[in-house]
Amino acid sequence: MSSRVSEVPKQSGRSAMPLDDVSYRILDVLRDNGRVSIASLAERVGISRASAYTRMETLVHDGVITGFSARVDPAKAGLSIAALVFVTVMPQAWESFREQVTEMPDVEWCAITTGEHDAMLLIRAVDVSGVHEFSTGVIAQLPEVRTVVSVVVLDEVIRRAYLLPSDLPERRTEIPLGMTRWTPASPGRDTLPPR
């Protein structure tokens, strides 16, 4: 791919223009091989190379494609321990909490959540003591944090690069009331800002 396509602007958003079937096929191909050539992409999707290139640029420009990166096996790269860290944040401390979390190199992923805890972090460490040091020595020490619960991940069963609407099966089963508890987010608990 050209350097223009690989220089992805740091955009994010909750919604984008509706995608057509060709765009979804492009995303499906890229999920398996983000380094596929434009010529091969065009052939696999069934469009011209010019169209494939234009569509790739549009997907990048519109923020649908937010970047290109290698997938690395964390254990083989030396980070054999993963943990989920659930955090309850003090009221009125969201902005400061967000700013600090985005600067923490141990955090692979963070989401603001509903329910018992306010945020969930996925962290990686060389050993269990690294999880303990991060949970008690870094996160729990923040004045914005009320409580911390750490759960060591025993096995990562599945991790997909991303999902597409076409991946989701249609389900027509009726869900009985009371099977799911939904707690709305309080004001200020929006998504983390883009890095």
pLDDT, tens only, 57-109: 999 999 999 999 888 999 999 999 999 999 999 988 989 999 999 999 999 99
Q: How confident is the model at residue 6 (pLDDT cuts 50, 70, 90)?
A: very low
Look at residue 178 and tell me whether its pLDDT is greater than 80. Answer: no
55 shares its domain with 11: yes
Residues 32 and 88 in one domain: no
User: CATH code at 102?
Assistant: 3.30.70.920
* pTM of the entire predicted model: 0.72
Which residue range(s) make up the domain with 33? Answer: 3-61
Asked if 52 and 95 sit in the same domain, the reply is: no
**Co-location of 89 and 141 in the same domain:** yes
HEC sequence for the chain: CCHHHHCCCCCCCCCCCCCCHHHHHHHHHHHHCCCCCHHHHHHHHCCCHHHHHHHHHHHHHCCCCCCCCCCCCCCCCCCCEEEEEEEEECCCCHHHHHHHHHCCCCEEEEEECCCCCCEEEEEEECCHHHHHHHHHHHHCCCCCEEEEEEEEECCCCCCCCCCCHHHCCCCCCCCCCCCCCCCCCCCCCCCCCCC
**Domain membership flag for residue 74:** no
pLDDT recorded at residue 25:
95
